[in-house]
């Protein structure tokens, strides 16, 4: 089981090129998980103690508004990474995440990883570099949507 | 005054014929609108509609990507891309967004009305030139309309191409253009279709995110791909960079540009873009030909 997870993690683009010893360390914090359609994966305000590598499925990142109900701010699918609040104090989720369809993922224990990163800053730096790249992509996507380019001029 | 019945139409034809005697015929052919009866009007979304026109000569030839100048008598003229099937010459189709004074009047058109047509003008998508390649079509908003004729032509000659991928981004689910047709294309085994919207409520089960986020998900061989992009300029800018990042050469990326087109034949200069005129040298350009202009401000 652990070998399979290790293989899956080493093949994932997010961890591509990472030293095998670090893959092994990360695998120690990983587990397989599945969410049914409609299942809430994370909820705003709750402790951010995990993050997920989506293997297959579709997840809506949502924010609840009193006037319009839940608004989808992003959709994540095969290969995407869900959640980075486990990395940043106060380690609380800022949004909701709901499985739109049956979703299979690898869950990574945030506390376990934080401890390993504290113990080995090289691992911490490698992970931060990878998360920065995701944050950069999502920020660019958000900025583009802020422009509302399809609106009437 | 709008041309709303046969009497008005006959009167206009009389006026045009009278004018013809005093104006150079070669100019007439390109500058004088011909009057096409409206055969059908369809509402696509809350602000977008499609009009089917009946060519007075019985057929109208064009290449995918070309546009016409459509004239609402007494209101004005606008450049609108042709959005129908180039193989169906007996119907001329335009999809229009009711956004300005002319197009808002066009929104009120009904079967039997007449509008003026000049064209077709401009360059076309490299459909025939891309035989053997994978084709990636990326559209944003109403940008799907100018690309639809190329999709029809590609699918009519499906065995001549590799993978055909359509990536489409819209503002919200209710802004999705040609929804039924998109569903039909998506159901095909020989075409890959991804749709995303910029914003949606929780009842939307599709993707939310900018159209560029679809590029890494699409299956195509970047080394042998022709990409055709149409949408707001800023959307095209980011799309080009993401395609290039994926490995598509700039020479194989084509964009459709938009400026204030007036004469349609490169006389008036309203649509000047660097040393070219979009109405004549465009609207479809290989990105490599306008790369330097594309990033230049105030052009």
The mean per-residue pLDDT over the stretch B61-83 comes to 95
pLDDT of residue B81: 96
Of residues B114 and B267, more confidence is placed in B114
* Candidates B103, B208, B216, partner chain A, best to mutate (most A CBs within 10 A): B208
**CB atoms B199 and A72 under 8 Å:** yes
Nearest CB partner across the interface for B210, out of A68, A72, A141: A141
Task: Tell me the pLDDT band of B256, cut-offs 50, 70 and 90.
Answer: very high
* Residue B142: closest CA among B82, B97, B189: B97
Of all residues in chain A, what percent carry a pLDDT higher than 90?
85
Task: Tell me the pLDDT band of B229, cut-offs 50, 70 and 90.
Answer: very high
- B281 vs B279: CA distance, rounded Å: 6
SS3 B86: coil
* A90 falls within a domain: yes
**CB atoms A144 and B210 under 8 Å:** yes
Q: Which residues in chain B have Cβ-Cβ distances shorter than 8 Å to A144?
A: 210, 212, 234-235, 238
pLDDT of residue B259: 83
Q: Which residues in chain B have Cβ-Cβ distances shorter than 8 Å to A150?
A: 140-141, 169-171, 175, 198, 231-232
**A42 φ, ψ (degrees, to nearest 5):** -140, 155
- B63 vs B228: CA distance, rounded Å: 14
- B71 vs B76: CA distance, rounded Å: 6
* A48 falls within a domain: yes
Query: What are the strands of the beta sheet with A50-56, ordered from one edge?
Result: A30-35, A103-109, A50-56, A81-82
* A136 falls within a domain: yes
* A96 falls within a domain: yes
Distance from A151 to chain B by nearest Cα, in Å?
Answer: 7
* A151 falls within a domain: no
pLDDT digits over B78-123, tens only? 999 999 999 999 999 999 999 999 999 999 999 999 999 999 999 9
| Cα angle A34, A38, A40; round to 5 | 70
pTM, two decimal places: 0.89
pLDDT of residue B27: 57
pLDDT at B19 over 70: no
* A153 falls within a domain: no
pLDDT of residue B1: 43
Distance from B218 to chain A by nearest Cα, in Å?
Answer: 12
**CB atoms B201 and A73 under 8 Å:** no
pLDDT of residue A71: 94
Asked which of A3-12, B100-109, B191-200 is least confident by mean pLDDT, the reply is A3-12
Query: Which domain CATH number covers A45?
Result: 2.60.120.10
Residue B241, Cβ neighbours under 10 Å: how many?
12
Show the DSSP H helices in B111-232 as ranges: 144-156, 179-187
A153: contact with B, CB 8 A cutoff: yes
Domains in chain B with CATH codes = 26-121 (2.40.30.10), 128-256 (3.40.50.80)
* A59 falls within a domain: yes
Give every CB contact of residue B284 below 8 A, 6+ residues apart in sequence: B65, B122, B123, B124, B125, B126, B228, B254, B255, B256, B257
pLDDT of residue B15: 64
Name residue, tokens 């590029």.
B215
> Which token pair is B1?
């005054």
Paired strand residues for B118: B69
* A35 falls within a domain: yes
Task: Tell me the pLDDT band of A3, cut-offs 50, 70 and 90.
Answer: low
Query: What's the domain count of chain A?
Result: 1
User: Could you tell me the residue range of the domain that residue A15 belongs to?
Assistant: 5-145
pLDDT of residue B28: 62
Whether the CB-CB separation of B247 and B239 falls below 8 Å is answered with no
pLDDT of residue B139: 97
């Amino acid at each position: 089981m652990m070998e399979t997870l290790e293989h899956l993690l080493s093949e994932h683009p997010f961890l591509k090129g990472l030293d095998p010893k670090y893959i092994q360390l990360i695998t120690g914090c990983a587990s397989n998980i599945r969410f049914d359609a409609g299942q809430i994966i994370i909820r705003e305000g709750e402790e951010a103690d995990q993050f997920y590598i989506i293997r297959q499925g579709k997840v809506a990142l949502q924010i609840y508004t009193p006037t319009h109900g839940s608004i989808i701010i992003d959709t994540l699918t095969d290969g995407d990474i869900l959640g980075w609040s486990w990395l940043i104090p106060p380690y609380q989720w800022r949004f909701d995440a709901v499985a739109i369809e049956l979703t299979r993922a690898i869950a990574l224990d945030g506390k376990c990883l934080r401890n390993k990163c504290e113990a080995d800053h090289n691992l911490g730096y490698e992970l931060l570099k990878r998360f920065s790249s995701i944050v950069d992509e999502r920020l660019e996507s958000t900025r583009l949507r802020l422009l509302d380019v399809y609106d009437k001029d | 005054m709008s041309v709303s019945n046969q009497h008005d139409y006959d009167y206009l034809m009389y006026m045009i014929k009278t004018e013809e005697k005093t104006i150079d015929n070669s100019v007439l052919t390109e500058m004088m609108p011909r009057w096409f009866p409206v055969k059908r009007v369809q509402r696509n979304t809350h602000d977008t509609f499609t009009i089917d026109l009946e060519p007075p000569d019985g057929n109208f030839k064009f290449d995918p990507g070309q546009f016409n100048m459509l004239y609402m008598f007494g209101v004005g003229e606008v450049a609108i891309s042709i959005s129908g099937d180039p193989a169906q010459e007996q119907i001329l189709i335009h999809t229009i967004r009711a956004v300005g004074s002319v197009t808002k009047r066009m929104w009120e058109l009904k079967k039997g009305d007449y509008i003026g047509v000049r064209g077709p003008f401009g360059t076309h998508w490299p459909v025939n030139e891309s035989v053997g390649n994978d084709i990636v079509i990326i559209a944003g908003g109403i940008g799907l309309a100018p690309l639809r004729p190329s999709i029809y032509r590609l699918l009519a000659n499906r065995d001549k191409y590799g993978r055909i991928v359509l990536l489409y981004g819209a503002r919200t689910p209710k802004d999705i253009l040609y929804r039924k047709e998109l569903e039909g294309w998506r159901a095909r085994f020989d075409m890959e279709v991804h749709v995303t919207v910029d914003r949606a409520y929780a009842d939307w089960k599709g993707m939310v995110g900018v159209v560029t986020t679809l590029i890494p998900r699409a299956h195509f061989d970047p080394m042998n791909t022709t990409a055709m992009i149409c949408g707001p300029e800023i959307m095209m800018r980011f799309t080009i960079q993401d395609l290039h990042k994926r490995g598509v050469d700039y020479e194989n990326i084509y964009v459709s540009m938009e400026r204030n087109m007036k004469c349609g034949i490169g006389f008036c200069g309203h649509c000047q873009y660097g040393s070219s005129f979009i109405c004549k040298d465009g609207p479809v350009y290989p990105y490599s030909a306008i790369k330097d202009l594309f990033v230049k401000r105030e052009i």
